[in-house]
């Protein structure tokens, strides 16, 4: 028997109501307007009755959308989906475990699972330092994003943009960002940094701690 969409809706709600009854959730039953007589009828239902619901062409339910709940739920689902997609994109770009743990709290087991799922080749040894031309592009891409002394981190999405702009490996990007945030702009090509830009260069963490002290 092929059920109608109305029958599927009624079956889903009746199953939910039967579970509420079995768990003694009277509050949920009252919220769905199940009174004593409806609850007693609910007790008599069996699996064969639920199967017979498939023959129904209409339903006995009054459905209303709670927009105050719906839109926050949609926003949460969208943010979660985008976050998971970003994690997969970073893993595919060979983001190191330290980076994923720092940005998303990813554990080693989950990191290994994602790499296997995405068929990412295992990293061997330390990543090579970028050549001079790539280093220049990497510095320019990062300096556009880490220009304020208050900057303590970079948005996770920006790592992919920096990699695309510079052509450097994700591991090289991560390593340079950590050095920059720890010690300040130590990688700036001397022939490409105007004096005014050098003067406004972000202070290193030790300098900021000294200033605050």
Task: Find the distance separating the first CA and the last CA of the chain, reported in whole Å.
Answer: 76
String of b and e for 127-139 (b: at least 16 CB within 10 Å)?
beebeeeebbebb
Cβ-Cβ contacts under 8 Å for 143 (sequence gap 6 or more):
185, 188, 197
Could you tell me the two tokens for 58? 């209409």
pTM recorded for the entire structure: 0.69
pLDDT tens per residue, range 92-135? 999 999 999 999 999 999 999 999 999 988 776 676 778 888 88
Domain range list for the chain: 5-55, 67-117, 132-206
How large is the average pLDDT for residues 87-93? 95
CB-hemisphere CA count at 13 Å for 138? 25
Nearest alpha-carbon partner for 173 in 140, 207, 204: 140
């Amino acid at each position: 028997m092929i059920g109608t969409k109305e029958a599927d809706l009624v079956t889903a709600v009746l199953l939910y109501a039967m579970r509420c009854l079995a768990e003694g959730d009277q509050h949920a039953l009252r919220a769905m307007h199940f009174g004593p007589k409806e609850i007693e009828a609910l007790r008599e239902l069996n699996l064969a009755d639920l199967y017979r619901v498939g023959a129904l062409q209409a339903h006995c339910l009054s459905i209303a959308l709670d927009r105050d709940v719906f839109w926050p739920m949609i926003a949460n689902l969208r943010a979660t989906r985008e976050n998971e997609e970003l994690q997969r994109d970073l893993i595919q770009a060979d983001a190191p475990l330290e980076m994923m743990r720092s940005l998303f709290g990813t554990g080693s087991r989950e990191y290994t699972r994602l790499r296997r799922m995405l068929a990412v080749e295992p990293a061997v040894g330390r990543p090579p330092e970028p050549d001079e031309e790539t280093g220049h592009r990497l510095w320019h891409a990062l300096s556009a994003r880490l220009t304020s002394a208050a900057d303590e981190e970079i948005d996770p999405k920006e790592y992919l943009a920096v990699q695309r702009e510079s052509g450097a490996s994700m591991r090289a990007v991560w390593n340079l960002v950590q050095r920059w945030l720890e010690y300040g702009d130590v990688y700036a090509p001397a022939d490409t940094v105007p004096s005014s830009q050098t003067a406004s260069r972000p202070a290193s963490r030790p300098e900021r701690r000294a200033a605050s002290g």
